[in-house]
Amino acid sequence: MTDEASSEAEANVARLHEILDLRRLEFTAASSETDFFIGHSQYKPDGRVFGGQVLAQCVIAAAATLPSDRLIHSLHGYFLRAGDVSEPIEFGVERLRDGRSFSARRVHAYQKGAPILSLSASFQDDQPGLSHAEQMPTGLPAPEDCPELLDYIGDEDSPVVSDWLRKRPFEVRPVEPSLHTSGVSDPSIAEQHSWFRASSRFGDDPVLNAAALAYASDFNLLEPVLRHHELTWRTPGLRVASLDHAMWWHHRVRVDDWMLYVQESPAAQGGRGLGYGRIFAQDGTLLATVAQEGMVRVKEVQ
């Protein structure tokens, strides 16, 4: 990595830290069981807020109402409206329950007085218990042997996409050819695999790392739906939008270590497609499981 690329990577990760640094709003709420925070968005060329960003900020907002050692283990959220990167986002956190081992929170993210995301999350103290996990796929190339996603996408071919990817705080290395290029979708590929990590050192804070993994979990999870139907991101008339997102953390994570994202699609129906993913550490530990349903439609081009 050149000095210029290294500086850009560090700046992107620093920007992620900035957007996760929410400010608590100090005013008397209608209910003492609700806490309010405000945050801002990262750049995105189309002007829409990246869904993974809002998920991550909701994790931070909810965690701010809990002891630092009670960490998130699951979330379930619905994307309600497209967000505007030029507008601040307000987060309202409802304290639903605090038990001896578990806590539950509901978070609503608002812009211009309307919710753009509604999310429920559960937190737990670190405890012993039964343990098993799926195994990481074998026989895949190492991350260093896979091209970076930007290598697939030329500035002249797709300047908007490449501009967005250059400002993302994660390095992504697909194992299969990227669907951002034309003519590479293959319905025989039941799974797709990508190595990813923060593009520079991220830090040790377990809450920030969990939130950053939520951010990255929104990368390309609906692509297996496209592969099943021989579509790419360049297919004329393609319309894709995330509808909901669910995630379960199984272990603490370090997002500046290489991780493998294994993604597949169990079903598509009625203009909706379901993506399912598992995130593994490079040593094979299953770190998280993710599911997302999205609107996937191909409109006839006049």
**Contacts with 16 (C-beta within 8 Å, 6 or more apart), sequence order:** 42, 169, 198, 212, 215
**Cα-flanking dihedrals φ and ψ of residue 26, to 5°?**
-95, 85
Using the structure block, give the residue that is written with the tokens 């400002």. 167
From the candidates 53, 242, 263, 265, give the one annotated as an active-site residue: 242
Integer-rounded Cα radius of gyration of the chain:
19
Annotated active-site residue 74? The verdict is no
CA 99 – CA 91 distance, rounded (Å): 23
Residues in the chain: 302
The HSE-up count of residue 248 (CA atoms within 13 Å, CB side) is 8
CA 196 – CA 101 distance, rounded (Å): 32
- Contact call for residues 115 and 80 (beta carbons, < 8 A): yes
Annotated active-site residue 163? The verdict is no
- Counts of helices then strands in the chain (DSSP H, E): 6, 12
Annotated active-site residue 292? The verdict is yes
From the candidates 35, 218, 244, 256, give the one annotated as an active-site residue: 218
CA 77 – CA 239 distance, rounded (Å): 21
- Contact call for residues 51 and 101 (beta carbons, < 8 A): no
The HSE-up count of residue 278 (CA atoms within 13 Å, CB side) is 15
Across the chain, the runs of DSSP E, i.e. the strands, are 23-24, 34-39, 70-79, 89-98, 102-111, 114-125, 170-174, 191-198, 238-249, 259-269, 272-281, 286-298
Catalytic sites, residue numbers: 218, 242, 292
